[in-house]
Structure 1
Amino acid sequence: MIELFYAPTPNGWKISIMLEECGLPYKVVPMQLGRGDQLKPEFLALSPNGRMPAIVDHAPADGAGPLSMFESGAILIYLAEKTGRFMPAEARRRFDVMQWVMWQMAGLGPMLGQNGHFLLYAPEKIPYAIERYSREAKRLYGVLDAQLEGRDHIAGDYSIADIACFPWIMTHKAQGLTLDDYPNVKRWYAALRARPKLQAGLALGKEDRKPMDEQARKLLFGVDKPAHADAAVQGAQQQ
């Protein structure tokens, strides 16, 4: 059994989709990010960066007791290796998949996150920041569109590269982008969206999606912290 510490966000969806696609048994531990669950000592012991998702595998292959993992890209690789699915065994094809997972982790996710922040959530509109990240978001969509030219998937067969990228492309409307400008991404997106297991992963926690209130905004964007946050960080650093 795998415990999934989860909230319905693009990074959370990566892992819920992967677990559904792999058919692994799992139990969801809901994370209320707006109330600071990600800063509690028990979660920081699993995810020192204070970000979800995280997992605890209670039946790892080595049989050496529960294994915890944080960082969605690392979790995808771990689950692919655990199940032998969605990651090629042959070295060159394997590294092709992994480089696109790293591209998503280092580029697509962070840049779209910044674009969304300055476009939707920043307390003041900063034209330079909006233009900077909008331009980078469009550039990255263009990179993905070029990679998908003549391909059904990002790197060979359906893989964790597709699973990593799809939830972030789901945010295109909020990002102020249209898939009509990226026809290969649009075709790929529609094909993946039709996968039943992917749909099941996206549906997880749907009832918990709520509009962000002012207190949640302050907490998520580092303006304010709950009373336990400093003690939690200090405790995690001592473990």
Structure 2
Amino acid sequence: MALAVGAPTLTACGAAAPVVAGVSGAAAGWLAEFGNEIRAQIAAKTVEGGTWAFEKLWEKWSGPTAEVAAKQAEEGFGVAGDTVWGHAVPGTTFVSLHRAKPYNPATDRLACVRDSGEFVVLESWAWKGVLAFVRKEVGDKEGDDQLHALQLLANTLMPHGAMSPGKTPAETVSWVGYPTKDGGGVEIVKFVDAGTAKVMVTASGYYTGTHGRATSHTFDLK
């Protein structure tokens, strides 16, 4: 797996090799990489006039996705990516949000929207953590083993509802949590340890070792 020159990386603590965040800086390049990694599909593309043309399956996501994009514009993220991705298992669309062009993966956001209108907007550090988690879990698997891991991650890692963000008063620690399709949840925490920024992702429904024990991975954020 190649690392684009100058791209930020997320390194799994204790891992033999770095887990690449997968951000190229190209127009919506990191979102396409994210979509490919989680086996999502194209839900919509921009057409003349800058509007999205949603695929038939995803038409009912059109309104909620556009509404979230409009709300994000009020926060300074007024440029949406040219392509919307969708994952049918959690029933969620993914759209990248940017302050301006050229896109900047160091600040770009990822909106994850359900047809119900519930949504999660992940800051750069949060979606990079999710991507690193996926790669950590599937990177050494092949064939059916990889497919089964991805199917499980769709139910236990991908957003399936509204988020609960927060941060400490001094803003030394930030976090976001959201529900997943299986009824469990995910917590993503950004913090600094010994001068190094880190992000920890915990999926309560994705078990490791003993049944009922959540899987948690911590990555260096660079």
Q: TM-score, normalised by structure 1?
A: 0.28
More helix by share: 1
Q: Which has the larger radius of gyration?
A: 1
Which structure dedicates a bigger proportion of its chain to strand? 2
TM-score, scaled to structure 2? 0.29
Quick one: higher RCO (CA 8 Å, sep 6+), 1 or 2?
A: 1
